[in-house]
Amino acid sequence: MARLAFILFVVGSLGSQISGQSTGLDTCGLTQPDGINTFTLRTASPLGNIPLIHIQYDVNRKLPITSTVMYDNLNLVQNVERVDNFRNVECGQLTNKQQNCANTMRLSLPQKSKVNSEYNSWDRGHLTPVNPMRFSAEAVNATYYCPNIAPQEPWTNRCPWYAVEERTLSRTKSFPSYVMTGTCASDNVVDGNTYYNLTVPDCFWKMACYLDPTTKETNVVAFISENHLIQSTGKAASRVERTASTTTPRAQLDVLNLMGARSSYVETAWLEAERILTEGRGTTGLPSAATCVSTKDISVATVTDWTAFMKLHRPPFDC
């Protein structure tokens, strides 16, 4: 609590100084032969200019593979409101390699028929969400880059997936963690591409790696969210099923199985998170990246703990 109080004091003291600090790309390297471009987004913060989000981006599918951050008490500070600013990253290597998330990701006509025109577009789903970055306007702004965005089933994004995001952040009150969010390696062939032919991932997933506050052992908890449209026929039952599936705590191995040949990118993201994202944070109590990589199973105790914690979430009124 002392560290949180210090951060709140600094936020109040710096005021407009924060907005004057630089933000943007740390580096934008060459796209690798496998079509993956890796870069880090930096931001102004109460602690200075820090690395914020590590991204692995697939230029062929025009989708993020992983978006990884570190959560600690800084992410509990909510000093600014969210302001939408969907846009492309300015990077020569990614020219014409980003989906245009500045425009709504319209549903195709067959997709609109499935949902009985309840929605007109896929949600522009953040991998790393906005709320944990409300400690500065620049940090909020960084989450709106298109390589951190993918088409997401609207109701799922706003209801059960929001619960996963909120609960994952809330646990930071107890312990810091590395949090990785990704899209599945497979495309959504059930619904197909968007109206403008953007690829829709088959699912979203999120993992948190942290030290158990009692045993000091590394835990990794995963959540997986199907990304197929919930059809208007049988909608109520489908939403109940989608909520149960999305909010069920799972093992890292479940995510790795979904990623298939691309599972190695998960290991890379853990290692890069430790190497890059700890700069300037002074955070203690984090697990080593090596143990995040090796902790592929989940204990019964961890499942029980997270299941109970997920039930404490209070959903929005329209869920």
Residues tagged in the binding site annotation = 157
CA R_g for the chain:
19
Six-digit token string for 88: 């492309």
Q: Is the distance from CB of 213 to CB of 289 less than 8 angstroms?
A: no
Residue 228 is a catalytic residue: no
The catalytic position among 54, 126, 228, 313 is 126
The Cα–Cα gap between 73 and 306 comes to 20
Six-digit token string for 74: 């800084």
The Cα–Cα gap between 36 and 53 comes to 16
Q: Is the distance from CB of 130 to CB of 143 less than 8 angstroms?
A: yes
Phi-psi region of 62 (alpha: psi -120 to 50; beta: other; left: phi over 0): left
Q: Which residues are annotated as a binding site for Mg(2+)?
A: 157
Q: Please, what sign has the CA dihedral across residues 118, 122, 124, 125? A: positive
Residues tagged active-site: 126
